[in-house]
Amino acid sequence: MDEICFLSATALGQRYAAGNLSPVEVAERHLARLEVLEPALNAFQAVDREGALHAAQEAAQRWRQRATRGPLDGVPVTIKDNVDMKGWPTRNGSTTSSAIPAAEDAPVVARLREAGAVILGKTTTPEFAWKGITDSRLKGFTRNPWALGRSSGGSSGGAAAALAAGIGTIAHGNDAGGSIRIPASFCGLFGFKPSFGRVPHHPAEGIFATLNAGGPLTRNVADAALALQVMAQTDRRDWYALPEPPEHWLTALRPRLQGLRLAYAPNLGGVEPDRDVRACLEQAMACLREAGAHIEDVGPVIQPLQPVFEDFWVAGFAHLLRGVPRERWGELDPEFRRIAERGLDLSAERLLAGEAARARLHRCFAALHENHDLLLTPTAPHVAPPVETVYHSPAYDRWRDGVAYTLPFNLTGQPAASIPCGVSRAGLPVGLQVVGPRYGERLVLESCLAAEALLQQPVPHPHLLANLEGLGC
């Protein structure tokens, strides 16, 4: 194992400051690892080797001059290929997208550059980020480094696969239905979807713009907090953006569990997790209770989402479909096209019914948080499915097998994280979802720091290391 590629952002900063490690060496190590593993993982849409080395050289000079830009200076990161990165096309996982390079950075990319981060490249996503696994006609299948025959999840699947394999220290993702948390669960990572509007995004339009939240995937909670502080800085281009938080809003985080009132909903929305996921969750609950946490089983909390929000979902895809020239619809993912065409004739009345249902859902969870500080659920009903799984098919239904536990909190805008809590009998990771009230990012992160210490999942995990060794790393 190349230990340097698995160092945290904090550890990198300490070694940079001591002068016994250079951002250039770190970037070279990550790029070399990328070159070895990419043929197996298929996690990158584009690699910016030249730009990464140039940024690393500039970061190295700042560290030598003791003029660093902060804790991400010289830290390798990746960007999901559905946001703009100046000089590179934004392909969105689709052959129908433009190959013209973006003229400017999206807000999150601009903030990371300003912080001195070293951007390795852009990671894969399914077409228009539409599903919870990552494959596309543009790029093919992205594979899970824990088991190449399994999916890395989606839609931030390339981000999670690369990060879990030791490529990059922090990965950018975004999440309109679970697209940070599901890949984090499948790949044994920490993934954090902040409150809606916390991380500015541009361009943002259509129905899904009100669900989507950018955020980090990391190998530990502390790195996610460092990344979020940078990502959440203001940008005038996003009119949905929240006011910029105070400068030190996530500093001096402390593990926090005792005294919190935790609600536990293993079957949120009436969807039951499978046996392996349930077993890992129950072991985690026992560990937290032993440490003094007060946990109450609150049942399913809400009714199934599909009957209420199906129209809302297909209407969002119809908006995306209208942006593709009609003569190119044949190039699209057939299942995406089928769903999107269903939404073309959807009435405004049915769409507005979905908005009204979002308000009711928010009131339901607001009432829950009157008596409970946090809500705990599985992140996904199953571990990572086979890589060639057909999403939203009878065998793997979107509502039952995909976003059952994650989507509610895109609809309400609440912060939610996925933290590793164990492995299945087959040696695949399982995630625990931790949900806070709106604008409760600090509470979620502090509780996850406590859970991380208690659950003691090794990073990297021996099961993951064994598979990576088989790939030559």
Note whether 292 and 405 are within 8 A (CB): no
Contact 312, 354 (CB under 8 A): yes
Question: Residue 2 — very low, low, confident or very high, per pLDDT cuts 50/70/90?
Answer: confident
In a domain, 392, yes or no: yes
Q: What is the residue-averaged pLDDT of the chain?
A: 97
> Which value, in Å, is the radius of gyration of the alpha carbons in the chain?
21
Q: Is residue 280 part of a domain?
A: yes
pLDDT per position as a tens digit, 396-443: 999 999 999 999 999 999 999 999 999 999 999 999 999 999 999 999
The pLDDT tens digits for 126-153 are: 999 999 999 999 999 999 999 999 999 9
Q: What's the CA gap between 346 and 319, in Å, rounded?
A: 11
Give a yes or no: residue 318 inside a domain.
no
Number of domains within the chain: 1
* Residue-level pLDDT at 206: 84
- Residue 350: CATH number of its domain: 3.90.1300.10
Is residue 317 a part of any domain in this protein?
no
pLDDT digits (tens, 9 = 90+) for 306-342: 999 999 999 999 999 999 999 999 999 999 999 999 9
Mean pLDDT across 240-266: 94
pTM of the predicted structure, to 2 decimals: 0.98
Unique residue bearing structure tokens 């908006």: 319
Q: pLDDT of 232-248, one tens digit each?
A: 999 999 999 999 898 88
Whether residue 120 is contained in a domain is answered as yes
Q: Does residue 321 lie in a domain region?
A: no
Q: Any idea which residues carry the catalytic annotation? A: 80, 155, 179
Average pLDDT over residues 284-289: 97
Checking if the pLDDT of 473 tops 90, the result is: no
pLDDT above 90 coverage of the chain, percent: 97
Please state, in angstroms and rounded to a whole number, the distance separating the CA atoms of residues 38 and 18: 32
Handedness of CA 445, 446, 451, 457 (dihedral sign): positive
Domain span at residue 115?
3-306+346-470
Secondary structure of residue 99 in the 3-state scheme: coil
pLDDT single digits (tens) 199-232: 999 998 888 999 999 999 999 999 999 999 999 9
CA distance 52 to 88: 13
Domain presence at residue 111 = yes
- The 10s digit of each residue's pLDDT in 105-129 is 999 999 999 999 999 999 999 999 9
Residue 1 has pLDDT above 70, yes or no: no
* Residue 325, domain member (yes or no): no
